[in-house]
Amino acid sequence: MSDTSARLLQLLSMLQTPRDWPGSELAERLGVSPRTIRRDIDRLRELGYPVQGTMGPVGGYRLAAGKAMPPLLLDDDEAVAIAVGLRTAASHPVEGIEEASVRALAKLEQVLPSRLRHRVGALGAATVSMLTGSEPNLDPQDLVVLAGAAANRERLRFSYRAGDGTPTRRLAEPYRLVAAGRRWYLLAYDNDRDDWRIFRADRISEPRATGVRVPPRVPPEQDAAAFITSKLYSLAPTYEVVATLGLPAEQVRQRLGAAAGEVEVIDQHSCRLRGSADTLEWLASRLLMLGCEFDVHEPPELVEYLRALGGRATRAAGDV
């Protein structure tokens, strides 16, 4: 291998395998002299790659961990495996790595050859998740487009389905993607409405980058996750519950944990619970799971919900 640049890349690819490489073996594989290998190792070190030498009869080299992440060289199978793994992480977010997985996937797919993009797409189409529940159907490729537009400060056109099902076309400037549980949200400046908006990513379809780069806008808050969380909570209905429980206050605190709210001691065998929640279902389930008698004073919606729930339970028991 006479071309120096190609030889250095091949040498770097070999050193990224976690093992010690004797200089003689490297020289044999690359078809050069041990002296050339030593010079190439020095070039890699000058470029910032932490290549360590090991002592021994024949000597050896390995790529050690450095202060910064050097460029990685991947073969076809490795690139496909990483892309598929990142797509999985994007579709079913793992806490702490959601946005990072999408950014990494966007960078990787940008440089993948077309033949590898086809393999990644085929694997994604043939893979079915066993996760069940109400997780929204979300195409990781759409997330890649959204993340790329946000990183490049590029305007984006897409179709958006509102909560009532109304379809619209949007022109927006993406700022950040935020994962919340099993859902992704896009914080973007809506050019048509001249204001910041929050879009649910699973309601976005056909995202297309326009190629128009724009200056960065000042976001409503620097912490996009905190801003989206506060907005979502402000839009959700809040029910304030007041209930008397036939259970000692300490046992209520133990069973409810952080969701206990304010627990006031009435006597040795009972207490009063005050708290809030955004769904009647959650409030009813928590009260019923305490396994004690209780009286709900507020809100009236919870009283009606429990009455309907009790009727269904009674009818089910009667059929048995």
**pLDDT tens over the chain, length 320 residues:** 457 888 888 888 788 776 778 888 899 999 999 899 999 999 988 888 888 887 765 568 888 766 555 666 677 777 777 777 777 666 655 455 556 677 777 767 766 777 777 777 666 555 555 444 445 566 777 887 888 888 888 999 999 998 788 899 999 999 988 877 667 889 999 998 999 998 988 899 999 989 888 888 888 888 887 888 777 766 666 788 999 999 999 998 888 876 667 899 999 999 999 987 777 888 898 889 888 999 999 999 999 999 998 888 888 887 55
**Model-level pTM?**
0.48
Per-residue pLDDT, 1 = 47
Task: Look at residue 279 in the predicted model and tell me its pLDDT.
Answer: 79
pLDDT attached to residue 132: 45
According to the model, what pLDDT value does residue 68 have? 56
Distance separating alpha carbons of residues 200 and 305, to the nearest angstrom: 29
The torsion defined by the Cα of 104, 108, 109 and 110, in degrees rounded to 10, comes to 100
pLDDT at 21: 86
Record the tokens describing residue 60, joined without a space.
């050896």
- Phi, psi for 247 (deg, rounded to 5): -155, 140
Q: What order of strands is seen across the sheet that includes strand 294-298?
A: 262-265, 271-277, 239-245, 294-298
Question: If we measure between CA atoms, which residue out of 28, 40, 35, 34 comes closest to residue 3?
Answer: 40
C-beta neighbour count of 160 within 10 angstroms: 20
Q: Please, what's the b/e burial string for 288-311 (b: 16 or more CB within 10 A of its CB; e: otherwise)?
A: eebebebebeebeebeebbeeeee
Contact (Cβ atoms closer than 8 angstroms) between residue 208 and residue 252: no
C-beta atoms surrounding 280 within 10 Å? 19
